[in-house]
A and B are shown apart, each in its own frame.
Chain A
Amino acid sequence: MAGKDQARMAAAAFTADDEDYWEESAVSSSKKNMFDDEEEGFTVLGVSENKAARLSSALRSTVGADALFADDDNDDITWETSSNISNSSSHGSITSADYRSARYTPPTNRSGSLSTSSSSRSTAATVTLGTSQDNSLSVQFNKPKMTRSEPMSLEDAIVDVPAKQVTATEVSKLETEIQFLRRQVQLGERARWTSLPVKETIKRIILGQPYSLEAYKSLQDKLALLDAAIKMHDGDAITITVLFLKKTVRKSIFQQELIKRPVAINHLIHFLWCHYDLDELEELYKMLRRMEDVFVLKYKQALAPSKAAGRAQSIAAVVRSFQHDSSLAPDSTLLLEQCTLLQRQLQIEEEDKKIAAGGKHPVFKDHPPKAQLPLTPLTTTLYYCSFYHYNESDSSLSSPLSIKRDFQMSDKQYTWSALNALAKLHRWKEIEALLTSKNWFGGTKMKACIGFEKVVEILSKQKAPVDILSKYLAYIEDPNERLALAAKHKCHRIVVDTLIQLKDRAALEDYRLKTPDYSLERQYLITALNNSQVKWKN
């Protein structure tokens, strides 16, 4: 059944688009379970669930210590039972035995121990499983005419109810229940006025049963409660008990005890975070001398302003307040740099607006900035300046070189940004200058700290002409890598040269067809093949 169901869902999903899928899968899954949903949901699981809920609410009201409520509950039960009768009778051939077993389990199971609504619930669930199949099947057999939308018609219910007499079994069932509830009331009252053992209370919190912390008046009790929560690992109970301690004892006592319990600290901190009690959180961190956490918290708060100017100010305030903490010096420096960057970005932007408005700057004219500069990372800023302000003297705030210097960026960081920007602008000459370095004797040498293969990659992405690519390909040291890249970018001369270097005549022969007919490259290749001075390896 489940297998078919699954397959059908999958099949539905294939044909359906997004929304259909939601609908279809839902339809097919619910179609199958129509009987389960309606019948089980109302009768078997429904009633026992209902009952479990009743029980817990009965418990709750008894803890409220209002004796009248107990009567109310009895009324409720009667109502509930009658609804049960009507249901089971409508099933015709199904005896109520199945239900009875489900209904009776909780009291017998409990055997005097403290009641647990959740235990009764899962008991019911397990029992249900055994019977669920039979039920839906028999329902199908008994009521073949039932339509999907109305699994149980009103008429059925009305006709059947009065026909059924309350049997002795039903009465005894009710009596058992009354007795059971009486016991619960007694238990509840006891629980109300004498403090339970701490472990019991924590158990109640974990199992979702009613509890009260009021009775724990002595410090000793409060701490025992907290320790029991920690020992039983439940985060909800730990948070509740630590907050209870916080609320009911003097701050100094609270702190003194809290500090001994790291798990409790974690839970309190997480609670304060989720509850946005950030001032209190800061105080707590300080009390625990966790300065790095204070720092991170203050920094996070300082990032709240969405405008660059405001953010720069609030970050500067954080830096100032931690300037004497040497352990945080490295991170403080980072924050200071962020301030400097934000201020600089604002200055550059202001200048650039004027330049762009002037309409004379070629780059601004052809490529008006798409995004705002402030609040971008440093690397992005460097790229921006390489793009718009490449040739400015390094005394200018917006010169990429001055940015590299002031923020102590590496040659690699600079080369990547500058190269990307220049390639995008097709400024091949400036790229050559960027990659040329002077040696000691005044001569020049091509040098790329990021590797020439990466240079070629970037240039090819920006559709650099073959001769430009060839120039840098030639500087790739590893011949095999050079060969592969040259072939990929169709730089035929480099391929030929490299194959000569590798003395691979056979490959050169093969490559002939890849060069365009009657081209200079073809000519160049043929000349190479005819070169008798090369000692070919094949």
Chain B
Amino acid sequence: MAVSAVLGPKLPDLQYLKRLARDQLVHLLESSPGRKDLVIDPDLMTPLDRIAGASLLKQHGVDKIFKLDRTKIHGGCDQLVYLVRSKLTTTKLIADQITADIRDNRKRKYKIIMTPRRLQVCDMVLEHEGVFGLVSIEELHLDLIPLDRDLLSMELPQFFRDYFLHGDQTWLASIAKSLVNIQSLFGPIPNVYGQGRCAKMVADMVDMMMSELGERQSPVGCEIGHLFLIDRDVDYVTPLCTQVTYEGLLDDIFGIKSGSVEFGPDVTGTDKSIKIMLSGEDEVFRAIRDRHFSNVFGFLSAKAKELQTSYDKRHNLKSVQDMKQFVSEELSNLKKQHKALTLHIGACETITKNKSRGDFEEQMRTEHGLLEGVDVRECINFIEESINRQHSRTEVLRLLCMLSSTQGGLPSKDYKSLKTQFLQSYGTEHLLTLHNLKKLGLFVEQQAQDATANKLADKMAAKLTDGMASLQLQLQLPKKSQFRAVSRKLNLIPKSAENFELRNPNDMAYVFSGAYAPLSCKLIEQVLQREGWTGVEDIAKLLPGDNFVHLKAKSAKGKASGSNPDSDKIVLVYFLGGCSYTEVSALRFLGKQKGYRFLVATTALTNGGRLIESVSGWK
């Protein structure tokens, strides 16, 4: 359907997912006839925009649309439909509103549509609050939302906090379900690789759900050849880095929400803001999204000249026929590109302005120092200075976490001093945030016995098969990703940072100005190349969680007649706990380099700021 203009293996059409979700939503709305008021969970507003607009909802009986919050819902209909994420707190809020209605003697019918699934604990809360009999509860299987031709997101940022911070596994079933859906649409995925505890659990649940469905010959054959599941805690460093690809910068500076971005007056050059959908369908954007920022502006100005030439063609039109053709075919396309170009150039200007403020260079130097492990003292001084000067709290925390993650925790003295100064500059209340970061292993104090304890934990984990004891140990000890050793083994830091080719990159590290190649993506490269973990065991050993691989026998691959011959080159990478736009770019680069096409799925698109904010303990 989506015309693939890019050479190489053809990607499955992800728009099916969108259509399925939309149809289900329409059905849910229509299944109770009559006009109804709709209350939407604020968390769902932007994601929902991707599958159904307000007018679609209105066509299907929705009268007024409200945002779910603590205020009373008025509205004139005698039916109220809640469309919410299945969460305890949300359910309680709904129960409170219904109770208030009863108190006011107001009678209406209630329906709660929970997405991505109906939770038994939510039922329990409704029962507990005495409103269970008053509501009908439905499920909307809105899991992976296609944000682009090669990008899927659950748009569930809270998964990171719930699972990695609190150890809550409630969303796992929905992640597994999303993979079951993918496989029922695009055929079973023969080869599965994984790294991390969550990845393993999700794979187990997928197996359970698939066997429950029974062996069925999928009508579409097999379109995706490989699945790679990776936990976010395998690589915290990459999302913590400042992004320098164009799309990454757009996300860091403007914030990309469910694939669209809002440009303010400084970008548009008018007094209005413009919201645009960022996707590979936009030719200009497709050409620049993955580029290093230094390589964007040149392209845009060349493109502008090219556009001018095309416009100038109108002076040379000989006949009315030519003119007609120009106006009907070329002009609208040119106009479209023109608009895109103007916006992207405006965005570039704002980015440049933003990054030319005083200490950006120093900040980049610090990050690169931390990644390489050189001049760490200077890096600490820079961070301390930022703290003393009360620079943006999130930025400072991001650097602190980067420092700790790359150095394998901080020496006691530095840890105490930075912690104290941080609390003095931003308020002691943020002890709560630091406590969370410590639990995550993102900002920790080095322990003298750390190394031995880690080894001990590994040994114990190997011995105890039930996995519970190893978990207990894991929770007690700071999870220490041995970044330095992994970095050496995976060659994450290019040897010559000087003369690094950013324009026609031949190394994935271009996404971070030639200073560092994303750990996650390099790991994926190695495992795909080897079709398993053989040969990279010593690296995997240093990463948190276990790894696994399920390969279908080679012969089975050729068996499915309807199988897409390209499927072996199509790789679905599923980031559990979020992935950054830079990682998506790095995978696209890897795909071009090695002849793969990558589909990226994630629980949410993230970046350093959002990652930190999501585990904040105090506003």
Residues of chain A having any CB pair with chain B under 8 Å? 1-3, 5-7, 9-11, 13-18, 21-23, 25-27, 29-30, 33, 36-37, 40-42, 45-46, 49-50, 53, 109, 111, 113, 116, 119, 122-123, 125-127, 129-130, 132, 203, 205-208, 230, 232-240, 243, 260-263, 266-267, 269-271, 273-275, 292, 296, 299-300, 303, 330-331, 334-335, 337-338, 341, 375-380, 407, 409-410, 412-413, 416, 450, 454, 457
Is the beta-carbon distance between A379 and B274 smaller than 8 angstroms? no
Is A335's CB under 8 angstroms from B428's CB? yes
Since A233-B172, A334-B428 are in contact, a sample of 10 more A-B pairs with Cβ atoms closer than 8 Å, ordered by chain A residue number, is A13-B260, A16-B275, A30-B56, A113-B214, A116-B212, A126-B184, A232-B208, A237-B120, A299-B432, A300-B432
A42 to B31: give the CA distance in the assembly, Å.
Answer: 10
Assembly CA distance A480 to B187 (angstroms): 63
A25-B53 contact, Cβ under 8 Å, with A235-B172, A377-B425: yes
List chain B residues, Cβ under 8 A from A407: 424
> B483: CB under 8 A from chain A?
no
A240-B124, A263-B169, A263-B471 as given contacts; A26 in contact with B88, CB under 8 Å: no
* Contact yes or no, B388 A379, CB < 8 A: yes
Note all chain A residues with C-beta closer than 8 A to B24.
45, 49
8 closest residue pairs by CB, A with B: A26-B53, A235-B170, A266-B167, A235-B169, A2-B15, A338-B428, A274-B88, A233-B201
Any A CB within 8 A of the CB of B16: yes
- Contact A236 B54, CB 8 Å, known A18-B262, A30-B59, A122-B181: no
Q: A381 → chain B, closest Cβ, in Å?
A: 9
Nearest-Cβ distance from residue B153 to partner chain A, whole angstroms: 16
Query: Hey, which chain B residues are within 8 Å of A207, CB to CB?
Result: 209, 212
Query: A7 touching B281 by the CB < 8 A rule?
Result: yes
B315 contacts the other chain (CB 8 A): no
CA of A208 to CA of B141 in the docked complex: distance in angstroms? 12
Are B273 and A49 touching (Cβ within 8 A)?
A: no
B593 within 8 A of A: no
CB–CB A266/B168 < 8 A: yes
User: Is A235 in contact with B168, judged by CB distance below 8 angstroms?
Assistant: yes
The interface residues of chain A lying within 8 Å CB-to-CB of B27 are 41, 45-46, 49-50
User: Which of A123, A127, A239, A335 contacts B170 (CB under 8 A)?
Assistant: A239
Establish whether residues A262 and B170, one from each chain, have CB atoms under 8 Å apart when the complex forms: no
Query: Known contacts A53-B31, A130-B219: does B426 contact A377 (CB below 8 Å)?
Result: yes
Q: Are A232 and B205 in contact (CB under 8 A)?
A: yes
Q: How far is the CB of B288 from chain A (nearest CB, A)?
A: 15
B302 within 8 A of A: no
B15-50 near A? 1/0 per residue, CB < 8 Å: 110011011101100110000000000000000010
Alpha-carbon separation in the docked complex, A335 to B472 (Å): 30
A87–B282 alpha-carbon span in the complex (Å): 40
Residue of B nearest to A208 (CB): B118
Q: How many A-B residue pairs have CB under 8 A?
A: 254
Instruction: Give A239's nearest chain B residue, CB to CB.
Output: B121
Contacts of A113 in B (CB 8 A): 214
B contact residues around A299 at 8 Å (CB): 431-432
B166 x A270 contact (CB < 8 A): yes
Interface residue? B459 (CB, 8 A):
no
- Given A26-B56, A271-B88, answer yes or no on A2-B429 (Cβ-Cβ < 8 Å): no
Q: Flag B189-226 by CB within 8 Å of A: 1 or 0 each.
A: 00000000000010011001100111010110000000
Asked whether B184 lies within 8 Å of A122 as measured between CB atoms, the reply is: yes
User: What's the Cα separation between A3 and B274 when bound, in Å?
Assistant: 22
Residue of A109, A130, A292, A377 ringed by the most chain B CB atoms within 10 A:
A377
CB distance from B344 to the nearest CB of A (A): 12
In the assembly, what is the distance between CA of A280 and CA of B260, in Å?
Answer: 43
Contact check: which of A1, A14, A271, A375 meets B121 at CB < 8 Å? A271
Nearest-Cβ distance from residue A424 to partner chain B, whole angstroms? 14
Bound CA span A125–B27, Å = 13
Chain A residues, CB < 8 A from B212: 116, 119, 203, 207
Residues of B near A11 (CB, < 8 A) are: 336
Kindly report which residue of chain A lies nearest to residue B276, judged by CB atoms. A13
Does B423 reach chain A (CB closer than 8 Å)? Answer: yes
Q: Which of A37, A296, A377 contacts B435 (CB 8 A)?
A: A296
**Residue contact A50 to B31, C-beta cutoff 8 Å:** yes
Q: Number of B residues contacting the other chain (C-beta, 8 Å)? A: 100
A14 touches B336 (CB 8 A): yes
- Asked if B556 CB lies within 8 Å of chain A CBs, one says no
Say yes or no for B171: interface residue by CB 8 A criterion: yes
Q: Is B134 interfacial (CB-CB < 8 Å)? A: no
Shortest Cβ distance from A43 into chain B, in angstroms? 11
Known contacts A1-B1, A416-B389, A273 near B424 by CB under 8 Å:
no
Structural contact, A37 and B23, CB atoms closer than 8 A: yes
Majority DSSP secondary structure for residues of B touching A: helix
B141-165 vs A: 1/0 string, CB under 8 Å? Answer: 0000000000000000000001000
B475 touches A6 (CB 8 A): no
Contact of A23 among B53, B272, B384 (CB under 8 A): B53
Q: Which of B53, B121, B475 contacts A236 (CB 8 A)?
A: B121
Say whether B89 faces chain A, with CB atoms less than 8 Å apart: yes
A240 & B208 in contact (Cβ 8 Å cutoff): no
A208, B336: Cα distance in complex, Å: 47
Asked if residues A409 and B424 are in contact (CB atoms below 8 Å), the reply is yes
Provide the residues of chain B in CB contact with A130, threshold 8 Å.
219
CB<8 Å pairs between A and B, sample of 26: A10-B276, A10-B282, A14-B336, A18-B273, A21-B275, A22-B54, A23-B53, A23-B55, A33-B22, A45-B23, A119-B213, A119-B214, A126-B219, A203-B208, A233-B172, A233-B173, A234-B170, A239-B120, A269-B166, A271-B88, A275-B88, A296-B432, A338-B428, A377-B423, A378-B425, A454-B385
Q: Which of B181, B219, B468 counts the most A-chain CB atoms under 10 A from its CB?
A: B468
With A109-B216, A236-B170: A261-B468 Cβ-Cβ less than 8 Å: yes
Q: Which of A37, A234, A236 counts the most chain B CB atoms within 10 A?
A: A236
Q: Which residue of B lies closest to A382 (CB)?
A: B424
With known contacts A22-B54, A238-B169, A413–B421 Cβ distance under 8 A? yes
Give the residue among A30, A240, A375, A413 with the most B Cβ atoms within 10 A.
Answer: A30
User: Would A380 and B120 count as touching, CB distance under 8 A?
Assistant: no
The answer to whether B274 touches A240, judged by C-beta atoms less than 8 angstroms apart, is no
In the complex, A303→B617 CA distance in Å?
A: 12
Establish whether residues B23 and A14, one from each chain, have CB atoms under 8 Å apart when the complex forms. Answer: no
Q: Contact: A379 with B205, CB < 8 Å?
A: no
Chain B residue nearest to A207 (CB atoms) is B212
A17 and B273 contact, CB distance less than 8 A: yes
Q: How far is the CB of A257 from chain B (nearest CB, A)?
A: 13
User: CA A205 – CA B123 in complex, angstroms?
Assistant: 12
Distance between Cα atoms of A126 and B386 in the complex (Å): 55
Bound-state CA distance A454–B381 (Å) is 13
Contact A379 B425 (CB under 8 A): yes
- Expressed in whole angstroms, the minimum distance between the Cβ of B527 and any Cβ of chain A is 23
Q: Tell me if A234 and B169 are in contact (CB < 8 A).
A: yes
B167 touching A263, Cβ below 8 Å? yes
Task: Tell me which residues across on chain B come within 8 A of A335, comparing CB atoms.
Answer: 428, 431
**CB distance B475 to A262 under 8 Å?**
yes
Give chain B residues whose Cβ lies under 8 Å from the Cβ of A40.
23
Task: Say yes or no for B2: interface residue by CB 8 A criterion.
Answer: yes
Residues on B with C-beta less than 8 A from A273 are: 166
Out of B52, B168, B204, B432, name the residue touching A26 (CB < 8 Å): B52
Q: Return chain B residues, CB-CB under 8 Å to A263.
A: 167, 169, 468, 471
A409: which B residues are within 8 A, CB to CB? 424
Checking A14, A123, A132 against B274 with a beta-carbon cut-off of 8 angstroms, the contacting residue is A14
Contacts of A1 on B, CB cut-off 8 Å?
1
A123 contact set on B, CB distance < 8 A: 213, 216
Q: Which of chain B's residues have a CB closer than 8 A to the CB of A2?
A: 1-2, 13, 15
**Smallest CB–CB gap between A315 and chain B, Å?**
8
CA gap between A206 and B180 in the complex, in Å: 14
User: Do the beta carbons of A416 and B388 come within 8 Å of each other?
Assistant: yes
Q: Is B185 an interface residue (CB 8 A)?
A: yes
Min C-beta distance of B414 to chain A, whole Å: 14
> Would you call B340 an interface residue if the criterion is a C-beta within 8 Å of the partner chain's C-beta atoms?
yes
Taken residue by residue from 358 to 392, chain B's Cβ proximity to chain A (1 for < 8 Å, 0 otherwise) reads as 10000000000000000000000000110011100
